[in-house]
Structure 1
Amino acid sequence: MKKLHLPGLLVALVCAVPSVQASCHAALKERLPQSGTVIFGEMHGTNEIPAFFSACVREFVERGEPVKVFLEFDASDTEHTGQYLRGEIDEAALLSSPRWRRLDGRTSQAMLELHRALKGVQVAGFVPLYGAADINAGMGESFLRQRLETGYNLVLVGGVHAQLAAGKGDIYASVPFGQYIQARSKNVLSLHARYTGGKAWACAPYCDANPLDGNEPTGATLARRIGFGGKDRRFSGYFSVGAISASPPALQD
């Protein structure tokens, strides 16, 4: 049975989060007893969301579940990333890929920590080449080609892509990634990130640690880390990470 070892910062972040709801694995297995896809819709550029996702992956791996992880990076970089995860190249070589030069939340220090924690796990990128006419459809087709048919596909992607439907009044050029794959596969859940406020590293328009208001509903039970149901038809449920802090790029000029 494989075990993941969370390095320094990630350990501190995971341990700092209350664990009253003991198991991400248990919460998701209740909804998907045999196999399926769970999409974690994130706010890019935080420390806490990649840490939460990493801990959830670890639970699945340590319980012997077949798992494949999908991260929001170019599908063409999957093999290069796989070389690092298999121990065939070092971290400097991993970071030599052009994708790490994009200084947004998808290439943050927290995301690098996530890569370190996922050594030995199958990880795939599923973003089509730049200039795709429909990025959500391209992401969907890339995912469907690479997913596990039997086992668990755990996906970390931006919250708009993660949606299973458009929200009230939303107008998109294409259906979201989550909706696209749900229409073409079984057993798909999508969870959106809740947080109580803080900062995230974002480029809007200048790249920096930007303050964000919280999106936890008034009176929410923060100890409940994963929940389902509610009135938001865009998602199956949510995962809560508490206060967020900004994670700057892994590479900085």
Structure 2
Amino acid sequence: MSRWMRFGCTLLISLLLANRALADESIAAQIREHAGAHRLLVLGEMHGTREIPRLVQQIVESYARQGIPSQLALELPTSENDALRTYLQSTGDTAARSALRGTKYWTVESHLHDGRRSHDMLDMIEALRVLRESGNDIQVYGIDHVPLPAESAPPGTRDAAMASELRERYNALPANARLLVLIGNVHGMRSQPSMITYPPMASLLVDLDQYNVRIEARTGEFWGCRGYRRCGSQPIPPFLGASPRTDKGSDRSYDLWVWLPRFTVARLLD
């Protein structure tokens, strides 16, 4: 390949990435606009993408630019919160990052990898650490209470525990703060779907000032699990409809649906 052809390819890739970043920023702005003054923003995701952590980062950055304190709740075990707090208060150097990703949560066998543990998630946490270091009021913590032993816990135990944790965090929010929740899209539903026999997390919090957003993509793939030891790259069915889409039905699962241009598989830690 000639030098000019290589230059042309590099330029084309750069333009495509820039256009995708602009599209993501536009969707972040749409979410902010529709969420308005709601203080609890539930973001239902597909695990294991590069794009969703970047989108969440953009939303938090937009709140920071307006001087609005933000708390980001993640689908991480609450046992990780001491390590997260320590990292957010660090300089983000190599030792600090190694300490954060060296905990038990971030180390998992490949056949059980559900997509939540990625360099993209760690990069998002680092970006929020930098925002916090610049003087913004930002917190990041896990809300997942994994029942032990998980296999003997009644259905819905985990969702009920996460809802209880979130309610406590919400009740302690400063008056002008926002609580963002990045959670798997079933946990984030306002109503109970037929596929499960228990109320999902968000449905237990509808009495709060809650706004629910489902994050999808028009094409691409993500990393997720469709059963025990059945984790891998999953394709996205093509979507050509309008985005965003709102729903006001009393039995709605989400208030807002948005579609990013594309999902790509996250850079998994293993």
Question: Separation in 2 of the partners of 1:86 and 1:28?
Answer: 27
| Alignment-derived partner of residue 158 in structure 2 | 135
CA contact (8 A) 1:109 1:247 kept: yes
1:189 maps to a residue whose letter is: Y
Query: CA offsets per residue over residues 31-87 of structure 1, 9 Å max, x none?
Result: 433x51000100000111111111111111121002111011011211211111111
| Alignment-derived partner of residue 247 in structure 2 | 229
Counterpart among 38, 47, 69 of residue 44 in structure 1:
47
Query: CA offsets per residue over residues 139-198 of structure 1, 9 Å max, x none?
Result: 00111122325211011000000000024xx14232111111123x2x101110121121
Asked if 1:24 corresponds to 2:22, the answer is no
Question: Separation in 2 of the partners of 1:198 and 1:15?
Answer: 16
Q: In 2 relative to 1, CA 128–227 (structure 1 residues): closer, same or farther, beyond 3 Å?
A: same
5+ long unaligned stretches in structure 1:
1-11
- Please, what TM-score do these two structures have when normalized by structure 1? 0.80
CA contact (8 A) 1:14 1:51 kept: no
CA contact (8 A) 1:228 1:236 kept: yes
Paired residue total = 229
SS at match of 2:220: strand
SS at match of 1:160: coil
Question: Separation in 2 of the partners of 1:32 and 1:220?
Answer: 21
5+ long unaligned stretches in structure 2:
1-15, 133-137
Question: Separation in 2 of the partners of 1:93 and 1:181?
Answer: 34
Counterpart among 165, 173, 186 of residue 191 in structure 2:
165
Structure number with higher helix proportion: 2
Report the alpha carbon displacement of residue 21 of structure 1 after superposing the two structures with TM: 7.5
CA contact (8 A) 1:52 1:241 kept: no
Q: In 2 relative to 1, CA 196–177 (structure 1 residues): closer, same or farther, beyond 3 Å?
A: same
1:117 maps to a residue whose letter is: A
CA contact (8 A) 2:46 2:224 kept: no
Query: CA offsets per residue over residues 115-151 of structure 1, 9 Å max, x none?
Result: 1111122011101133354111100011112232521
| Alignment-derived partner of residue 104 in structure 1 | 114
Report the alpha carbon displacement of residue 14 of structure 1 after superposing the two structures with TM: 7.5
Q: From the CA coordinates, give the structure whose radius of gyration is larger.
A: 2
Question: Separation in 1 of the partners of 2:56 and 2:167?
Answer: 21
CA contact (8 A) 2:24 2:55 kept: no
Q: In 2 relative to 1, CA 22–80 (structure 1 residues): closer, same or farther, beyond 3 Å?
A: same
Counterpart among 128, 151, 156 of residue 118 in structure 1:
128
Asked if 1:188 corresponds to 2:194, the answer is no
Report the alpha carbon displacement of residue 240 of structure 1 after superposing the two structures with TM: 2.2
1:137 maps to a residue whose letter is: A
Q: In 2 relative to 1, CA 139–69 (structure 1 residues): closer, same or farther, beyond 3 Å?
A: same
Q: In 2 relative to 1, CA 130–101 (structure 1 residues): closer, same or farther, beyond 3 Å?
A: farther
Question: Separation in 1 of the partners of 2:35 and 2:192?
Answer: 23
